[in-house]
Amino acid sequence: MRVAFLSNFLFLNLQIVFSIPYIMTMHSKSNLSEKEGVKQPETTSKLSAEKIKLSRKKQVSTEEFVSKILDGNITFLSRAITLIESTNTKHEEKANSILNACLPYANQSVRIGITGVPGVGKSTFIESFGKYLTSIGKRVAVLAVDPSSSVNKGSILGDKTRMEQLVTDKNAFIRPSPSGTSLGGVAQKTKESILLCEAAGFDTIIIETVGVGQSETAVHAMVDFFLLLKLSGAGDELQGIKRGIIEMADAIVINKADGDNIKNAKIAKVEFNRALHLYPPKENGWQPKVMTASGIKNTGIKEIHEMISEYISNAKKDGFFDRRRYKQNKHWLFTTIDQQLKNQFYKNPSVKKSLELELENLSNGEITPFNAAKKLLKFTIKR
């Protein structure tokens, strides 16, 4: 009797012990489990999302693109520039059709190139300068080129974030673009984007470059006025005296001339003025000027605009403005031909096949680079 009671007692206890984990699993959660939170309402209307998807799927005709761009529609202008930047063959064909239709309405703006080393304050200066221009009735388009990573080929494209005031201005348009593999971050795509912005009614086009020094020739070959931003008290004065970039500049602005840096900016202005006297005069007789400014304090901005206006007025009077535009178009004609020939060469199936063989021969020391190049170039010559 006593033995039976003990065995029943043990059996019941074992059932309880083994059932506890099951009960806990069924009726409680682990401390590591995620607690249910408050469900957030949808921020985007499903109906609106469907409309956007349908509008993107809809193929817009070239005529509609051109009509909208001429009306100053920013959305269609941005979409057209995207087509220009695309490497898709169909996109390129459509972009060319849009460009040809917009060309009669272009070439009516003042194109200003702004460059300087990274950290010189290009974006802040451009925002201050752009806001001043819109305040006096100008329509400003900013084509900002962001550097692309050499590792993953990506770009941050953060210029709209840095120009938070200008981006909300109804008379301004900001278009950040990746530099890609282009030297200086500007090439054929930027040149064509300028034409579309002009057709959309923008009378002042500002091109901000990556600011890599020796490669600024590209932007100089597509603008009417080339502005170089410099820093004071940062060891930048010696760089400024070097030939090349200074010879291309139509004006030098010592930026960040505010606070404790005002004194240094004035000293740098004197030094750059002395350096400029060592250079031969410009083709149109213009003597490049050195000025100080502060993008944050908005000082010197009005004076810089007056200086640029004086330059453009004089250039148009003596015909230099039109002569410079013609030389630039001629330059881009030959540059585009070179680029197209290069692209066609590497796309040639025979070249792709033979290139691997010649690289192997080059690695084994069986051929020189020059003779290998000559052999490959024969594929481009039609007999």
Please determine, for residue 201, whether its predicted confidence score (pLDDT) is greater than 90: yes
- pLDDT of the residue at 15: 53
* 144 shares its domain with 239: yes
Joined together, the tokens standing for residue 337 give 């031909």
- Going by C-alpha positions, the residue among 111, 114, 81 that lies closest to residue 98 is 81
The pLDDT, as a whole number, for residue 44 is 58
Given the DSSP bridges, would you call strands 204-208 and 289-292 parallel, antiparallel or unpaired?
A: unpaired
Which is nearest to 96 in space by CA: 58, 128, 65, 50? 65
pLDDT at 343: 82
Q: Is the pLDDT of residue 73 over 80?
A: yes
Residues 167 and 206: beta-carbon distance below 8 Å: no
Per-residue pLDDT band for 52 (boundaries 50, 70, 90) equals low
Q: Do 135 and 260 belong to one domain?
A: yes
Which of residues 132 and 280 earns the better pLDDT score? 132
Band of residue 54 on the pLDDT scale cut at 50, 70, 90? low
Tell whether the model's pLDDT for residue 57 goes beyond 80: no
The residue with greater pLDDT, 307 or 92, is 307
pLDDT value at residue 174: 93
Whether residue 231 contacts residue 168, with contact meaning beta carbons closer than 8 Å, is answered with no
Residues 311 and 336 placed together within one structural domain of the fold:
no
Query: Distance (Å, rounded) from C-alpha 199 to C-alpha 69?
Result: 7
Residue 336 has pLDDT above 70, yes or no: yes
Number of domains in the chain: 3
Average pLDDT over residues 237-243: 51
Q: Give the separation between CA 55 and CA 88, rounded to whole angstroms.
A: 20
Kindly state whether residues 223 and 93 are assigned to the same domain.
Answer: no
Q: Which residue has the higher pLDDT, 160 or 205?
A: 205
| Residue 88 shares a structural domain with residue 157 | no
What residue type is 77 in one-letter code? L
Give pLDDT, residue 214: 45
Number of neighbouring beta carbons within 10 Å of residue 303: 14
Of the candidate ranges 22-31, 117-126, 191-200, the one whose mean pLDDT is the lowest: 22-31
Q: Are 226 and 342 part of one and the same domain? A: no
Contact criterion met (CB below 8 Å) for 312 and 225: yes
Q: Which residue has the higher pLDDT, 57 or 110?
A: 110
Q: Same structural domain for residues 147 and 190? A: yes
Say how far residue 123 (Cα) sits from the centre of its chain.
12
> Going edge to edge, which strands form the sheet with 251-254?
172-178, 140-146, 204-208, 110-115, 225-230, 251-254, 289-292
Which domain does 358 fall in, by range?
330-380
pLDDT at 150: 46
**Structural domain includes residue 283:** yes
Among residues 318, 343, 367, which one ends one of the domains?
A: 318
Backbone angles phi, psi at 294, to 5 degrees: -140, 115
Average the pLDDT over 45-52 and give the result: 70
What is the pLDDT at residue 291? 95
Q: Are residues 271 and 162 in the same domain?
A: yes
Indicate whether 90 and 227 sit together in one domain: no
235: left (phi over 0), alpha (psi -120 to 50) or beta: left
In a shared domain, residues 179 and 264 = yes
Give the residue from 271, 286, 318 where a domain finishes: 318
Cα 309 from Cα 301, distance rounded (Å):
13
Q: Residues 256-303: pLDDT tens digits?
A: 999 888 999 999 999 888 888 888 888 888 999 999 999 999 999 999
At residue 232, the pLDDT reads 84
- Per the model's pLDDT, the better-predicted residue between 64 and 379 turns out to be 64
Angle at 326 between CA 245 and CA 197, to 5 degrees: 80
pLDDT for 39 beyond 90: no
In a domain, 40, yes or no: no
Looking at the structure, tell me whether residues 135 and 278 fall in a common domain: yes
pLDDT at 56: 61
CATH of the domain at 203: 3.40.50.300
Q: Are residues 340 and 300 in the same domain?
A: no
What pLDDT score was predicted for residue 227?
Answer: 94
Strands (E), the chain: 110-115, 140-146, 172-178, 204-208, 225-230, 251-254, 289-292
Q: So what's the pLDDT on residue 313?
A: 95
**pLDDT-derived band of residue 153, with 50, 70 and 90 as boundaries?**
very low
